[in-house]
């Protein structure tokens, strides 16, 4: 009787067949690895593209944010500032904040030479043409330089300190330009020289403005301390919301009256020029810049001129709102 070899032969034959199930797993594993590699390559390419966009080949392109500071001295007041520079055809264009009642205005000119850029922005006002010019140098993500704020024939030196950052919002004024900005009680600290008839010297105290009915005028009173002695002054301020003109009058205990005409075209600052004052046979003139920092704080920088000469630094102050 022959042995039954059919079943053993069949099992051996089956054992020699490829294992389809295991082979399918290997194919899926190989496909998964290839897809991972492709995804990694794509991710690297996107990262390189993003990095290239964040670091443009042109050193001056981008949105630059920082401060615009008076060049009058180390204690000059600062205002927020934004400068945007873009490609425009074969040249450059862009916008600058802080020259008019709108949030931003176009640049009149942009001249680029390597890492150096010269910009100019111009707007019209009732007091004449208002312009900001700057000569800046780019070093990586920093853009710094000096410039000039001009209102008519008057000029003020400025210092730019900007950093390139992504722009996620539109430039907005720091405060609403209206007479109610002044109303309320403010405390102040003034540091400066004693220079009659323009300044009594370093002093501190408070000033309270009260709006006169529904008009665009407010009356104010200063209660101050000058070298340990108490003093009082009366003030008045008026604002024209159409022309953005500010009129500021100070009546002092020594009989001196200072009348200043201001321009609040920029929501960031108010630039004042004071009517000339005669004293001791000489003519004196004061000019000041109010840097509007927020609804509760502003800085004042003052300069003076004697007999039409060059303006020199007089002093600066910080005002802080205590009560509305």
> Can 62-164 and 179-323 be said to share one CATH topology?
yes
Give the distance, in angstroms, between the CA of residue 35 and the centroid of all CA atoms in the same chain.
Answer: 48
Residue 202's Cβ-count burial label (10 Å; 0-12, 13-18, 19+) is middle
What are the tens digits of pLDDT across the range 184-225? Answer: 999 999 999 888 889 989 999 999 999 999 999 999 999 999
- For residue 176, what are the contacts with CB-CB under 8 A and spacing of at least 6? none
What are the tens digits of pLDDT across the range 251-279? Answer: 988 888 999 999 998 888 899 999 999 98
According to CATH, what is the number of the domain 179-323? 2.40.128.20
Domain ranges of the chain: 62-164, 179-323
What are the tens digits of pLDDT across the range 54-85? Answer: 344 789 998 898 888 877 654 556 778 889 89
> Residue with structure tokens 């500010």?
246
Least confident of 25-29, 181-185, 221-225: 25-29
- For residue 14, what are the contacts with CB-CB under 8 A and spacing of at least 6? none
Q: Give backbone dihedrals phi and psi of 167, rounded to 5 degrees, phi first.
A: -95, 115
Strand ranges (DSSP E) for 183-323? Answer: 184-192, 194-195, 199-200, 203-211, 217-226, 229-240, 245-251, 257-263, 269-274, 277-279, 282-294, 297-306, 312-323
b/e per residue, 55-65, with b = 16+ CB within 10 A? eeeebbbbbbb
Fold that domain 62-164 belongs to in CATH:
Lipocalin (2.40.128)
């Amino acid at each position: 009787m022959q042995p039954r070899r059919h079943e053993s032969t069949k099992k051996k034959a089956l054992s020699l067949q490829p294992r389809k199930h295991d082979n399918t797993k290997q194919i899926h594993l190989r496909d998964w690895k290839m897809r991972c590699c492709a995804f990694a390559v794509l991710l690297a390419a996107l990262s390189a593209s993003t990095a290239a966009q964040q670091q443009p080949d042109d050193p001056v392109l981008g949105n630059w944010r920082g401060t615009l500071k008076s060049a009058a001295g180390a204690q000059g007041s600062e205002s927020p500032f934004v400068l945007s520079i873009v490609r425009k055809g074969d040249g450059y264009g862009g916008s600058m904040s802080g020259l008019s009642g709108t949030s931003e205005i176009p640049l009149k000119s942009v001249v680029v030479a390597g890492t150096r850029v010269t910009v100019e922005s111009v707007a019209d006002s009732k007091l004449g043409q208002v312009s900001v010019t700057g000569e800046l140098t780019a070093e990586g993500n920093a853009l710094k330089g000096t410039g000039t704020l001009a209102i008519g024939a008057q000029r003020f030196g400025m210092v730019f300190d900007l950093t390139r950052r992504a722009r996620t919002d539109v430039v907005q004024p720091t405060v609403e330009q209206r007479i109610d900005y002044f109303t309320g009680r403010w405390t102040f600290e003034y540091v400066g020289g004693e220079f009659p008839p323009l300044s009594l010297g370093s002093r501190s105290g408070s000033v309270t403005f009260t709006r006169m009915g529904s008009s665009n005028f407010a009356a104010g009173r200063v209660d101050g301390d000058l070298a340990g002695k108490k003093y009082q002054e009366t003030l008045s301020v008026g604002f024209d919301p159409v022309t953005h003109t500010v009129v500021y009058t100070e009546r002092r205990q020594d009989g001196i009256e200072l009348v200043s005409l201001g321009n609040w075209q920029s929501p960031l600052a108010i630039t004042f020029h004071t009517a000339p004052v005669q004293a001791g046979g000489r003519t004196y003139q004061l000019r000041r810049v109010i840097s509007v920092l927020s609804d509760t704080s502003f800085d004042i920088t003052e300069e003076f001129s004697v007999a039409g000469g060059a303006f020199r630094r007089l002093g600066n102050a910080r005002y802080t709102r205590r009560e509305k």
